[in-house]
Amino acid sequence: MEKDVKVEDIAQDVNKITDKELKSVQEKVGQINNLQLQVGGLEVQKTIGVEQIKAAQVDLNDLQKTLEEKYGKVSVNLQDGTIKPIEENESDKED
């Protein structure tokens, strides 16, 4: 005995992927969405880090100006804090 097959049943089978395939597609889309969120978070962290670097550079420049006012044009050894005068080149003196 043959089972009665309806056109609608055949159309549904043709127009639908298997449940296993659907689950695989959903997992991959979920992975991509998660990775995009992570990349976005990293971009925010990067932006914050860049701004912090800029702020630290401004602070360092201010500190260097303060030290220059106190000690003149000197080079500071970052290991032990000793200073030595910076010799100006002839071309620097003309400016």
CA distance 43 to 41: 5
Identify the helix (H) or strand (E) that includes residue 67: helix 19-71
Mean pLDDT of 11-22: 84
Total residues belonging to the chain:
95
pLDDT of residue 13: 61
b/e string for 56-70 if b means 16 or more Cβ within 10 A? eeeeeeeeeeeeeee
CA distance 32 to 48: 24
Q: What is the mean pLDDT of the chain?
A: 89
Mean pLDDT of 48-70: 97
pLDDT of residue 94: 56
The 10s digit of each residue's pLDDT in 68-81 is: 999 999 999 999 99
